[in-house]
Amino acid sequence: MPSIGWLRLPLWFTYLFLYLPIAVLVVMSFNASKIPFVWTGFSTRWYGELAQNELVREGLINTLIVAIGATIVATILGTLLAIGIARYVRSAIVEAYSLAPAIIPDLVLAIGLLAFFSLIGVSLSLFSVLLSHVVFGMAFVAAVVIARLGQTDPSLEEASRDLGASAASTFVRITLPTLAPGIIAGALLVFTLSIDEFVIAFFTDGPSTPTLPIVIYSMVRFGVTPEINALATILLLVSFTIVISAQRITRLTDAV
Amino acid sequence: MTNLLTIAHVSKAYGSVVALDDVSIDIAANEFFALLGPSGCGKTTLLRAIAGFEDPDAGTITMTDNTPTANPPTTIDLLALPPNKRPVNLMFQSYALFPHMNVRTNIAYGLEREGLPAAEITQRVDEVLEIVALTDKATARPQQLSGGQKQRVALARAIVKRPKLLLLDEPLSALDRKVRAEMQIELKRLQHEVGITFVVVTHDQEEAMSMADRIAVMHEGRVQQVADPITLYSKPANVFVADFIGSGTLICGTVTASGFDALGTRLPAPTTTTTGSAVLLLRPENVTLTTDPHHAPLRGTVVETHFYGGSSTTSIAVPGLDAPVIASHAGAPTVHAGAEVGITWDPTGAVVIPG
């Protein structure tokens, strides 16, 4: 058989195109030089400076407040939404509408939310960012949990009732545990999306409480510093870890 | 025989589809009862109505408690109770074993919901594990078990509750042929051992015939006949039952005061009181072939023969009949395809069904 190894070239070029910028960023975060494009030697100096940066620390805390809050609320609402849709709604249109916030452009959602908040008189703060992240977050959770519900045997809950469990007990002991992998995967997804979400946060955040992506944006306006490379590397690590663990959790339970 | 379950005039419709149409059945205590019919006949709907997962539009389902502790006997209106309060357990077709629990916790689940002391739960779970021969699998997860083992766990989970009535929805349909034959015997043995009334839903008439004490044949939401297997086979109440149970030949004709006329001739048939159009049922084992076609009530051409080792069947095409007449007898086939044969039968073994 003739070698078709050269056909792999496009694949490697694609990977290069995808990951070279990220690799450059990670490497440069360990650059000793202050000029971000000239390599002068290995150093963890920028990680140290990052830890001293008051703005970044505040941004990180704000982001974590939003991400954790939005994850908790979106996971609860998204799970209930999924169960409600799967059980009681036989309309593809209603289901599609419930998942739309995950698909419509961030900018549209951001402008819509901003208009909505000013209409009902909610002042912009971390709370309004949190609410905004719940909007798209619960759509993502619902999508994952609906997929999980499609794989579970509907007679499990009936079996639980048949064996003497009340409706509430069945929900806690049977429904939630069987949906748990989907719920956890959905929650991790929301958390990852929330910590680096910029557009919606930019529109719906108050001026005194910037989230981390907004802090980074204001830093970058004066040029990319190695400090930002270090910060981006840390964010990358966090996102990768969460996404990979979410995938593993879903895959582990798919095998079941 | 004391009555355990009384189903009276139960009807259920989904929109314009009638699932149950005025169904009335009495089931006796300690009986092995089968609901038999083709898919869509309403048998599963009826089972789910007894368990509490379907609400009938009309009718009542009541259970009589005749145990010595219940003196005088008390009657429970099942339809007034939610599924978790009914003294009835259902074994699901999919088995519905909880995937996040092992065999022991699956079986203990129902007893824990009753709030029994831990020691009693352990003891009762151990007992049923022994009955279904799964003691060594107690810590296994459902997904590590074979089909037959899953089925036994599902059974154990239901009988450990000691229900008065156990409902089984197509209990053997997910098993392969060999395991199914074993489990038929196993179910029958278990039913004797635990002394629980079994109601089995099945579409497999051989399964129902071999296991059940009595069978209700259902079709299009109606009960066609309730009888023991032998009666169903030898005295079917209508053409549907005659056709659904066993094999045989149906000949449409007319009952007159002097006999049964069909295919332009007088056929041997048992005498009946009613006259009018009717169907004559010939079971294969009642049909005899003769080599003298001219003195037989029917004659035809042999289409094919099948030899099963101990017995053989012969299909004979008879002019005027849509389906060939089937004859079976012990031993090897005595005729060859293409032969002209006469067909006779014992009139007392044939059945005339008005209709």
Domains and CATH numbers, chain B: 3-234 (3.40.50.300), 247-354 (2.40.50.140)
Cis before residue B72, ω within 30 degrees of 0?
yes
Would you call A87 an interface residue with chain B, using a CB distance cutoff of 8 Å? no
CA atoms within 13 A on the CB side of B75: 10
Structure-model confidence comparison of residues A6 and B302, the more confident one = B302
Instruction: Tell me, yes or no, whether A193 lies in a domain.
Output: yes
Amino acid at B134: L
Q: At B183, which helix (H) or strand (E)? A: helix B177-194
**Contacts for A83 with CB less than 8 Å, ≥ 6 apart:** A145, A149, A175, A179
Rounded CA separation B63/B50 (Å): 10
Contacts of A163 in chain B (CB under 8 A): 84, 89, 109-110, 113, 157-158, 161
The count of other CB atoms within 10 Å of the CB of residue B306 is: 12
**Contacts for B67 with CB less than 8 Å, ≥ 6 apart:** none
Question: What percent of chain B clears pLDDT 70, i.e. is strictly above it?
Answer: 98
Rounded CA separation B50/B256 (Å): 45
Q: Do the beta carbons of residue B220 and residue B21 sit within 8 Å?
A: yes
DSSP string, A65-93: HHHHHHHHHHHHHHHHHHHHHHHH---HH
pLDDT band at A254 (very low <50, low <70, confident <90, very high): low
Pairs of residues, one from chain A and one from chain B, whose beta carbons lie less than 8 Å apart: 62
Contacts of B114 in chain A (CB under 8 A): 164
Distance from CA of A171 to the nearest CA of B (A): 13
3-class state of residue B28 by DSSP: strand
Instruction: Tell me, yes or no, whether A135 lies in a domain.
Output: yes
Token pair listed for B83: 């599924």
pLDDT band at B8 (very low <50, low <70, confident <90, very high): very high
CB contact (8 A) between residue A155 and residue B94: yes
Q: 């490379």: which residue's tokens?
A: A229
- Which residue in B53, B100, B110 is closest to A164 by CB distance? B110
CB contact (8 A) between residue A161 and residue B83: yes
Rounded CA separation A203/A214 (Å): 10
Instruction: Tell me, yes or no, whether A243 lies in a domain.
Output: yes
Would you call B53 an interface residue with chain A, using a CB distance cutoff of 8 Å? yes
pLDDT tens digits for range A6-59? 888 888 899 999 999 889 888 888 888 877 677 888 888 888 888 888 888 899
Contacts of B94 in chain A (CB under 8 A): 153, 155
pLDDT tens digits for range A101-122? 888 899 999 999 999 999 998 8
Question: Above 50 in pLDDT, residue A255?
Answer: no
Q: In A, residues 169-188, which contact B (CB 8 Å cutoff)?
A: 169, 173-174, 177-178, 180
Q: Which residues on adjacent β-strands are paired with residue A156? A: none
Distance from CA of A235 to the nearest CA of B (A): 34
Predicted pLDDT of residue B238: 92
Q: Sheet containing B249-256: which strands, arranged edge to edge? A: B265-267, B259-262, B249-256, B276-282, B351-354
CB contact (8 A) between residue A158 and residue B92: yes
A245: containing domain: 54-254
CB environment A3-31: b (16+ within 10 A), e (fewer) = eeeeeeeeeeeeeeeeeeeeeebbebbbb
pLDDT band at A136 (very low <50, low <70, confident <90, very high): very high
φ, ψ of residue B329 to 5 degrees: the values are -155, 165
| CATH number of the domain bearing residue A153 | 1.10.3720.10
Token pair listed for B209: 């015939």
CB contact (8 A) between residue B96 and residue A166: no
Question: What percent of chain A clears pLDDT 90, i.e. is strictly above it?
Answer: 45
Domain count, chain A: 1
- Give the start-end residues of each E strand in B29-143: 32-36, 58-65, 74-77, 88-91
3-class state of residue A38 by DSSP: coil
Rounded CA separation B238/B323 (Å): 19
Distance from CA of B97 to the nearest CA of A (A): 7
Token pair listed for A253: 């339970």
- Which residue in B83, B99, B109 is closest to A178 by CB distance? B99
CB contact (8 A) between residue B84 and residue A164: yes
Would you call B157 an interface residue with chain A, using a CB distance cutoff of 8 Å? yes
CB contact (8 A) between residue B114 and residue A164: yes
Q: Which residues on adjacent β-strands are paired with residue B191? A: none
**Contacts for B264 with CB less than 8 Å, ≥ 6 apart:** B320
The count of other CB atoms within 10 Å of the CB of residue B319 is: 9
CB contact (8 A) between residue B90 and residue A159: yes
Burial of residue B80 (number of CB atoms within 10 Å: 0-12, 13-18, 19+): exposed
Rounded CA separation B109/A159 (Å): 10
Rounded CA separation A190/A72 (Å): 9
The ipTM (two decimal places) reads 0.84
Instruction: Tell me, yes or no, whether A18 lies in a domain.
Output: no
CB contact (8 A) between residue B83 and residue A162: yes
- Which residue in B99, B100, B113 is closest to A163 by CB distance? B113
3-class state of residue B320 by DSSP: coil
Q: Do the beta carbons of residue A50 and residue A231 sit within 8 Å?
A: yes
Nearest to A145 by CA among A94, A95, A104: A95
Token pair listed for B125: 């779970």
Residue A31 per-residue DSSP state:
B
Burial of residue B176 (number of CB atoms within 10 Å: 0-12, 13-18, 19+): exposed
pLDDT band at B1 (very low <50, low <70, confident <90, very high): low
Query: How many DSSP H helices and E strands does chain A contain?
Result: 12, 0
Rounded CA separation B12/A195 (Å): 53
Instruction: Tell me, yes or no, whether A15 lies in a domain.
Output: no
| Closest chain A residue to B157, measured at CA | A163
Would you call B15 an interface residue with chain A, using a CB distance cutoff of 8 Å? no
Would you call B109 an interface residue with chain A, using a CB distance cutoff of 8 Å? yes
pLDDT tens digits for range A191-248? 989 998 999 999 999 888 999 999 989 888 877 778 888 888 988 888 888 888 877 8
Amino acid at A122: V
CB contact (8 A) between residue B94 and residue A153: yes
CB contact (8 A) between residue B90 and residue A162: yes
3-class state of residue B247 by DSSP: coil
Predicted pLDDT of residue B261: 87
- Between strands B276-282 and B325-330, the pairing is unpaired
Contacts of A153 in chain B (CB under 8 A): 94, 96
Instruction: Tell me, yes or no, whether A210 lies in a domain.
Output: yes
pLDDT band at A158 (very low <50, low <70, confident <90, very high): very high
Predicted pLDDT of residue A256: 45
Rounded CA separation B302/B338 (Å): 5
Instruction: Tell me, yes or no, whether A176 lies in a domain.
Output: yes
Would you call A163 an interface residue with chain B, using a CB distance cutoff of 8 Å? yes
Would you call A5 an interface residue with chain B, using a CB distance cutoff of 8 Å? no
Instruction: Tell me, yes or no, whether A104 lies in a domain.
Output: yes
